[in-house]
Each structure stands twice: as structure tokens, then as C-alpha cells.
Chain A
């Protein structure tokens, strides 16, 4: 079974600052995917970024980037130039590679990120 750990229940930064959310995971799988999801107060799950474990290059999406350290089983999310709209719960998630297609996600407990004006 997989486990995902987010050790920061809450973080608060000033607008325009850079913030890094941490995530570690444990698995015996070699092929898998890692995700960061954002859940604003509306509770809609929004995909922020995705990383395939077989890719060494860290994924980036505009202001969002990850630091994926496969050996250390670490998958942190960096948000640059943070904006008020980034305020939300952020969940790190793991999905093992399943030959037939997508598998269910294992989520961390989440980090509540607050961007202060």
C-alpha cells in the first residue's frame, strides 16, 4: 500500500512571495504518477501539476513547479509569485501505474495555504 505524507497542515505567505509545499510518499512501486491538486472553498478538485515517475525532468506549469526526488521519495510543490487566488487546500496524490489505465489516487492530508494581501 502507498502512503502520502504532507507535514505542513497550514502555511501562510505574503502575496508575490514564493512558497514551497512538501510531500513525501512511500511505495514499493517503480512506475507511478504524482500529482498536486488544489481544492478551493468551492471544494472542486483542480489539477495543478502532474509528474511521471519515469521522467527525471521536473514538471512545470507556469508559476508552479515541482522538485521530484525519486530516491528520496519526495515531491514538493513550489509556487512562485503567489497570488490571492492561490489560497486553497493543496493535496499531494499518488497513483500507481496500472496496465489497464488510470488507478485510484492516494491523497496526503493536505496543506492549507493562505496568501496574505
Chain B
């Protein structure tokens, strides 16, 4: 079946540094990718939608300069957390779609980010 690979699985970084998370669709072309954030014991919150070759659409309350999203190819979207702070510590999950309405959404395994 279709697979979405997310890397890294976990990362620890120091406050003030930037961290890049990759989301790859391994066996299909993902015209649309989504980024979610999940706090401990909470639900997933949609952060942004990225479409290949265009600017990402951010949900209300999500700082686009803080969470940079790039979807440069049909198989790769990246989320960069810039100038990370401890409150950015969270679980980040991507999902990818082939782009047609009936195509399923495939989730990555998530990235646990800890900012010290």
C-alpha cells in the first residue's frame, strides 16, 4: 500500500535553533500534503495545507514565519520550525493525498520534537 515516510522520528534541539522535518510520499505523487500538530493526550490540529509548487495555506493562529512549509516536488514537503522554543515541543504529523477527492489520506509516522 501507499506509504508516507516522515523523518526524523524524533529530534531534540536547543532553544533558538531551527529544525526541519521531511514528509515523503514513497510510491505515489502527492499533490497535496497536510501538516498537523498533536500535543500530549490531545487531538490533531491542522496547521497548514501545502500544494506542490505553490505557497502553503496556514490555519488561523498558525504563524507562517515560524512554521515554514515547502512543497517543492510531488513527493516531498518539509516543515521547518524556525527559532524553536520549548512551547514548540510537540508531535508533528504529515499526511499526503494523491489529490483526487476519493483518494485516501496517508499519514506519516510523526516526529516528536523536544526543544530544550
Contacts and interface: CB of A to CB of B under 8 A. Distances in A.
A2 B79 CA distance: 25
Say whether chain A's binding surface is mostly helix, strand, loop, or mixed.
loop
Contacts, number: 57
A45 B95 contact: yes
A44 interface: yes
A47 interface: yes
A117 interface: no
A105 B96 CA distance: 12
A101 interface: yes
Nearest to A91: B43
Contacts of B98: 101
Interface in B31-50: 31-32, 34, 36, 38, 42-46, 49
A35 B49 CA distance: 19
Interface in B44-80: 44-46, 49, 59
6 contacts: A45-B44, A91-B43, A99-B101, A101-B31, A101-B99, A108-B43
Interface of A: 42-45, 47, 50, 91, 97-110
